[in-house]
Every structure is written in structure tokens, then in C-alpha cells.
Amino acid sequence: MNRDILVTFCLYFVGLFSIGLVAWARTRNISDYILGGRRLGSVVSALSAGASDMSGWLLLGLPGLVYTSGLQGLWLAAGLLLGTYLNWTLVAKRLRVFSEVFDNSITLPEYLENRFSDETGILRSLSALMILFFFTIYTSSGLVAGGKLFNSVFSVPYQTAMLLGALSVLIYTFMGGFLAVSWTDAFQATLMLLALLIVPFMAFMEMEPHQLGSATHELLGTLMPDGDGLASLTATISLCAWGLGYFGQPHILARFMAIDSPENIPRARAIGTSWAGAAMAGAILAGIAGSLYMGVGLKDAEKVFIFLVQRLMHPAISGVCLAGILAAIMSTADSQLLVSASALAEDFYRARLRPNAGQKELVWAGRVTVLLVCAVAVFFARDPESKVLEMVSYAWAGFGASFGPTLILSLSWKGMTKAGAVAGILTGCLAVVIWKNLHGGIFDIYEMVPGVIFSTLAIVVASRLSSGPGRRETELFQKCLSSL
């Protein structure tokens, strides 16, 4: 069986690396490497945004949560689906227009610097540091998921398995940059959805009707989290609050900046939201199917999808479904590596060290930083006991609180200032880091919630207390609004 799966994986990798080679030939400058020259179509933009968003937690973490906790996973999915829709509706078109009007900004830190006419470089450097800090954790979660997959399927030691996953992502991201990442993500989004629809369907087909009927009542009892009234409410709010994180995720926001035309965003929104809804429904059904089909005896609940595939599928089909897990892992890890590389190459190397560097030098600076970030992520992913969902939740909250309020207000409030942006980013980050280490009562609520609240308050207060925006900022802001 492993040989058949190995053949499927090899074909999968050949396809990815071929895409990487084509993208290599089309990458001529740093804008191509980081943002694909702003020429992504609506389908690729939507699918690559979805695939880079969901990561390994979609096929490991979410099914594992439902496997152990039942239908309360629906609250998480509902929050994420609403967040996906609102992100495409409230942010996508504005960010595409604003990032181009404000000096054709190709990274999120560069956009914030240009938006607030920051000549000190503080805002850009601070944003880049936040990206590097949280993406190192986020990328590590993907490598942990890859290690678990290779370990389960091929019975290789976890450390070796994790390194294999890291090397796979590294090769085509290093070669082709944003185009390679986006094209492969669109392909991988299709593979992920196929796996998520096939596996639970096959599992339910194996069960008797009376088995499904008797389980329905028990499942309905798991809709609300366990605990007294306050504890249950806190847990429910925490699950729904994941949707707040979308507004600050640099790897998703990059797709909005790269789409070829703002007019294609409504179509991309329809595709992206539909894909997300179907994919999360499949993940929830996979968790339910796992609890009914295998009981609750799994030591590592995050491997429930893998065990379903191995037990139910013909080797050839299981290879495709397991490749779907790998696709989920790689489609996020590659985007995170690339955004981290852009933070170092564009927002530190060119902005601070080599402002006159040529395009080829900048592209190679981006490639070298991909290697460096991947090496650090490998170091943090070396523990096989790491939980994918826990790592993702921390990084997701960090980005959502640090950048979410800052970005939304920068796109909608002309009175926001540089001081407000700096205060919002710092406050959001500190709130997440501090809240994460507090426990009991209200401190059990997901750190995203206080992070977003405190960040928003800090932006408003600091903007009111500082001098207002300059004439150029105001004129460009009005130009952006007139283009919407």
C-alpha cells in the first residue's frame, strides 16, 4: 500500500515542481517574486487565498476537534466562513485599490508606510518584525502537520518526516515565488476539497442506518461546549472569534493585492466563500465519521482523517486523499515562507540596507530569506507532540489583533495617523501575548477578542491625540475612495 501511495506522492511532487520551473521563467523582478506582478485571475486568487488560509488544520486540526468535542466545531466553522465573506467584501477591493494608489505598495508593511507617509521607517520595520515572529510559529505548525502525515503513512521517524515536508515546500517556493505559490495553491485547493468530500462520504456508506440514527441525538448534545453558563459562553465566543482574524492575515491579504483587476473581486468572493464553506463542511463530517466509525480510541485525534483514509480507501484513491492533506499543509506553508521572505528582502534588505539594489539581487535576497525562515521554522517544529491547532490559533490571533484593526481603519478612516497605526500593531500583539498566558474566568476567552478590542481602542486614542494626516495622505485617500 505504501508503494502505491508513494507513487501518487511522487506524481504530485513532479506536478508542483514543474509549476515552480514555469514560474521561475516568468519571475523577472521583485514585484513578480513577491506579488506576481498583480496579474492573478479571479479563480486563482480565490482558490489560492482559500488554500493558503486553511492549511493543515483543515484536514488535521478541525476533524480532530470534532472527533473529540463533537458539533461545537460548527461554531469555529461558522466564524471562519463569515470572516471569509466579510474579508472579501470589506477589505479585498479597498486594499487592491489603496495598495496601488499609495505608491504601488507590494507588501503589507510597505503599504502601511506609504499610507501614513512614514519617513522614519518605524512602521514598516515594526510590521515586518511582527510578520516574522508570528509566521515562524505559523509555518512551524505546517511542518508539524507534514511530519505527522509522513510519519503515519510511511512509518518514518517524525524528525525525518518533518524535514521531508519542509524540503518539499522549500524547493518550489524558492524557485518560483508568488506565481508558483499561487498556481500550486489553486491546484491544491481542488485536491483538498476532493479529499474532504470523498472521505466522509465513504465512511458514512460503510455504516448502518440505525448507527447513524442513534448518533444524531448524541451529536446534538455536543453543540454547546461543556461547562457552566459562563464557561460555555466563553468557549462559544472564542470559537466564533476565529473569524476576526481574517482581516490581518498577510498571506491572504497578498492575494487581494495581486488580483489583476478590482472588478474581478465579486466573482472571486463567490468562488472563495463557496470553496471555504464546502471544505469546512467536509472537515466537520470527517470528524463525525471518525468518531462513529472508529470510536474515541485514537491517541492523537488530529490523525483521524489519516486513519479514515487508510482504513477505507483503495491504495490508489488513498494516495490522492493523503496528497490532499499534504496539499493543505504546503499551500499555507509556502505562502507563509514567501510573505516572511518579502518582509526580510523588501522591507529590511532593500528598505534599510540596499535601497539601490537591482531587481535580480532583490529576487535572490528573497530566495535566500526563504531558506533562512524555513530553517528557523524547522527548529521550532522539532517536537512531535506539538498540536497543530494550538500553534495555528496563537499565530492567527497574533496577526488578527496586530494587523486587522489597523488595516480596516487605514482603508476606511481618513483621520487615522501613523501614531495610531503603530499603537494598534503594538497593542494588538502585546494583548495576545499577555492574554495567552492568563487563565481562569474571563481570561479563558480566545486572545483574539481582547487583542482586537484593545488594538482598536489604541488606534482611535493615539490618532486623536496626534497631529492629523498630511495633505498628501488626505488627497490619496480621497482618490482611492473615488475609484471604488
Q: What is the pLDDT of residue 35?
A: 74
Q: What is the pLDDT of residue 126?
A: 92
* 482 burial type by CB count under 10 A (0-12 exposed, 13-18 middle, 19+ buried): exposed
pLDDT digits (tens, 9 = 90+) for 321-350: 777 777 667 667 777 777 877 777 777 777
Tell me the CATH number for domain 2-388: 1.20.1730.10
290-293-296 Cα angle (round to 5): 65
* DSSP code at position 300: S
Quick one: cell of 8? 501518487
Q: How many CA atoms lie within 13 A of 439 on its CB side?
A: 1
In terms of phi and psi (left: phi > 0; alpha: psi -120 to 50; beta: otherwise), the region of 469 is beta
Q: What is the pLDDT of residue 61?
A: 81
Q: What is the pLDDT of residue 294?
A: 75
Q: What is the pLDDT of residue 167?
A: 81
List the helix and strand counts (H, then E) for the chain.
20, 0
Identify whether the C-beta of residue 332 lies closer than 8 Å to the C-beta of residue 251. Answer: yes
pTM over cut 0.75: yes
Domain ranges of the chain: 2-388
Residue stretches of the chain with pLDDT short of 70: 1-2, 55-56, 172-173, 175-176, 209-229, 296, 327-328, 330-331, 386-389
Q: What is the pLDDT of residue 13?
A: 77
pLDDT digits (tens, 9 = 90+) for 16-27: 778 777 777 777
39-43-49 Cα angle (round to 5): 85
Identify whether the C-beta of residue 60 lies closer than 8 Å to the C-beta of residue 221. Answer: no
Instruction: Give the integer Cα–Cα distance in Å for 396 and 390.
Output: 10
